[in-house]
Amino acid sequence: MPAVATSFFTAEHDALRVSIRSFVERELAPHAEQWEAEGNFPDSVFERMGAAGLLGLSYPEEYGGSGGDYISTLVLKEEMARCGSGGVGMAVAVQTDMATPPILRFGTEVQKQEWLVPAIKGSKIACLGITEPNAGSDVANISTTAVRDGADWIVNGRKIFITNGVRAHFCTLVARTDKPSGYHGFSLFIVPTNTPGWQVTRRLDKLGMHSSDTAEIVMEDMRLPEEALLGEEGKGFYQIMWELQGERLVAAAGAVAGSQLLFERCLQYAKERKAFGRPIGQFQTMAHRLAEMASEIAAARELVYDAVWKFNKGDYPVKEISMCKLYTGIVVNKIANDAMQIFGGAAYLMDVPVQRAWRDSRLMRIGGGADEVMREILSKMRGL
């Protein structure tokens, strides 16, 4: 790990941060309340971000990306927290770090041109089809099937909790292609969502992340051509487990950034809000709470930066990423809960953003691998 955790940020990263922050504060943050109330944000956000070069920061220039490193992705995730809507940040993360990385890594040149290039431009929106009613963190229990029919594949199954699923133009889909083969029986497919047999059956109503559309999908006798197969047949489980590491790391980075923003709001409020004739931050119980919050956020950030540094240099740090996912989820929920207490009755009002952060943060301990799954991974890595 670098002697100073932030030493991997270069002048280029700093300039990128300034540019992204300006975009977020100008293009996204002013609309957060409206998008949350409406339960959606316009598709044009993807197009505007694509035009600004923000959907392909670490993708090769030959596909419309900026050719940057993974630390550029970290900068984007940290700054997206400032938009004030966790749902927007999550939807964009699906586009940049969940549904498209497998296309770059495993796709053919034709697939990259047809799907990755427009995804980086923001003209095609992506979703990721993993979770099913009976297969969440237990990816090996996926029951959606893809069966050969001549040169084609016939897909049947059901997916749930699919972010961007209502609006997506294509889906990076996990399906079982050979049940007797166990972990070797899964494959990935790129599915255009206008394919006959693909149906959005429900837009899900959620506790938080209101501006992000989340769908239930049913696939009934959906016919895909041979060229829809992404990567090597039978390698889908290993490919999607690789993808999940990036998903968990960007989620952890976003959780830390969100925690930091909440802390800053709490600190400012503690200086301004008065009780019994003085600012509440001058009471020892409040001052100590804020000191503890700052310490927990700093520890979480160092954990994330360590994993990012290793990921950026080509390592595959499953242990560190699992720790990040587990610990940052615990921290962001504690910070959100502390913020509710610091703001008191005001935090319970729907027009005060603290309550939204409190609701949105709860997903971090469930989505992308629940706390219990992260603990299980870490336990097994120690031979337990």
pLDDT one-digit tens code per residue, 198-244: 999 999 999 999 999 999 999 999 999 999 999 999 999 999 988 99
Assess whether pLDDT exceeds 50 at residue 246.
yes
pTM value is: 0.94
Q: Both 221 and 326 in a single domain?
A: no
CATH number at residue 11: 1.10.540.10
User: Mean pLDDT score of the chain, rounded to an integer?
Assistant: 95
Q: Which amino acid is at 184?
A: H
Span 303-320, pLDDT tens digits:
999 999 999 999 999 999
Position 76 scores a pLDDT of 98
The residue range of the domain holding 273 is: 238-380
| Structure token pair of residue 149 | 């029919």
174 shares its domain with 86:
no
Domain identity same for 99 and 206: no
Report the domain count for the chain.
3
Integer Cα distance of 274 and 276 in angstroms: 7
Burial 38-63 (b: 16+ CB within 10 A, else e): eebbeeebbeebbeebbbbbbbeeeb
Q: CATH number, domain at 253?
A: 1.20.140.10
Same-domain pairing of 286 and 368: yes
Choose among 87, 92, 70, 95: nearest CA to 32: 87
| pLDDT beyond 50 at 1 | no
91 lies in the same domain as 164: no
Q: Which residues are catalytic?
A: 247
Q: Which of 204, 219, 234 is the last residue of a domain?
A: 234
Q: Using 50, 70 and 90 to split pLDDT, how confident is the model at 6? A: low
Contacts of 149 by beta carbon, 8 Å cutoff, 6+ apart:
223
Mean pLDDT of 147-157: 97
